[in-house]
Amino acid sequence: MHPVLEDLIALLTLEQIEDNIFRGDSRDLGSPQVFGGQVLGQALSAAQLTVEGRVAHSLHGYFLRRGDNASPIVYEVDRSRDGGSFSNRRVVAIQHGRPILNLAASFQVAEAGLEHQASMPDVPGPEKLRALDELARDLPAGVPMKLRRFLTEKRPFEFRPVRPINFTERKKLPPESYVWIRAVDELPDSPTLHQNLLAYVSDYELLGASTLPHQLSYVADNVIMASLDHALWFHRELRMDRWHLYAIDSPNASGARGFSRGQFFADDGRLVASTSQEGLVRVVDPDRVKHRSDPKSQS
């Protein structure tokens, strides 16, 4: 297996340290805090370890504090309910004695029922598009090295955007995006693993759709973005080592918050999952950002 993907699977595989208590490591992806998708995927993994014979169908999480990349995260699971068909779990992710995420997850015994779904958007397939790391090679010289490294680093997933983001030009765009996503190598036949990986990757691109109509420049370094809450529903079985179209739209931005929705379509057209997220989107004076980041201003 590709080493980067193998490392992600190891990251989502938690250590049990007590009944209903688990611990996971973190990875530094170049941001000041732990990637939100990592905490979601690990919290779901913790909940899954306390459930048998049932598969997750939904989760709802609130991000409370920034996670520390240099420290492990402890996950405490409350077995709220085990009914005839459904089980519910509450998970608290803790670092340095304080919660950084509250999550609720629901699990169901597999059963047949009514079937209908939205249609997959009519967009070019992944074979006609360039990967994100290939597009990053064409970035102009003025793009900061930190952003360049973030776009070109090796990832456990391949991303092929239908409409590549222009990181240097301020251009007003519709609040929607489409990106094809696939794990970089074949994966084991584990439904829980594929759900954990989708939870992890669902935090990519989602909130950014709410900024597209506002002609923001990511190079200017005056846009503060942070996930506040995240919801995810699993509709059908999925395999993250096959292409999925992540179709995202943002119906609202107000009060320094952006709201986005997403749908994951398998390459055969099946709608396998839906997600939504609200996050902080704050535009500030660049001089104020520099002042806050200057060590002298903290003294």
CATH number of the domain enclosing 81 = 3.10.129.10
Nearest Cα neighbor of 240 from 199, 207, 208, 276 is 199
* Active-site residue flag, 227: yes
pLDDT value of residue 284:
85
| Per-chain mean pLDDT for the chain | 90
Q: Report how far Cα 263 is from the mean position of its chain's Cα atoms.
A: 13
The average pLDDT across 152-159 equals 87
Whether 93 maps to a domain, the answer reads yes
Indicate which residue of 42, 195, 227, 274 is catalytic. 227
Q: Which of 29-43, 59-73, 203-217 has the highest mean pLDDT?
A: 59-73
Tell me: do 6 and 136 sit in the same domain. Answer: no
Mean pLDDT score, 109-121: 97
In a domain, 122, yes or no: no
* 60/150 same-domain check: no
Q: Are residues 147 and 247 in the same domain?
A: yes
Domain count for the chain, please give it.
2
Tell me if 125 is assigned to some domain.
no
pLDDT at 6 over 60: yes
DSSP 143: S
Cβ atoms of 226 and 280 closer than 8 Å = yes
Residue 219 has pLDDT above 80, yes or no: no
Asked whether residue 94 falls in the same domain as residue 198, the answer is no
Position 285 scores a pLDDT of 73
Catalytic residue among 26, 45, 195, 203: 203
Does residue 84 share a domain with residue 20? Answer: yes
Q: Catalytic annotation on 267?
A: no
Q: Are 183 and 198 in contact (CB under 8 A)?
A: no
Whether the pLDDT of residue 142 is over 70: the answer is no
Q: What is the DSSP letter of 209?
A: G
Note whether 191 and 270 are same-domain residues. yes
Distance separating the N- and C-terminal Cα atoms of the chain = 48
Q: Are 94 and 228 contained in the same domain?
A: no
Domain identity same for 61 and 134: no
Is 203 an active-site residue?
A: yes
Max mean pLDDT range (20-34, 59-73, 208-222): 59-73
Last residue of a domain, one of 43, 78, 110: 110
Tell me: do 148 and 251 sit in the same domain: yes
The band of 81, judged by pLDDT with boundaries at 50, 70 and 90, is very high
Same domain, yes or no: 143 and 96: no
Residues 236 and 96 in one domain: no
Phi, psi of 138 (to 5 degrees): -90, 5
Enclosing domain of residue 32: 1-110
Select from 110, 140, 160 the last residue of a domain.
Answer: 110
Contact 228, 280 (CB under 8 A): yes
Distance CA 210, CA 116 (A): 28
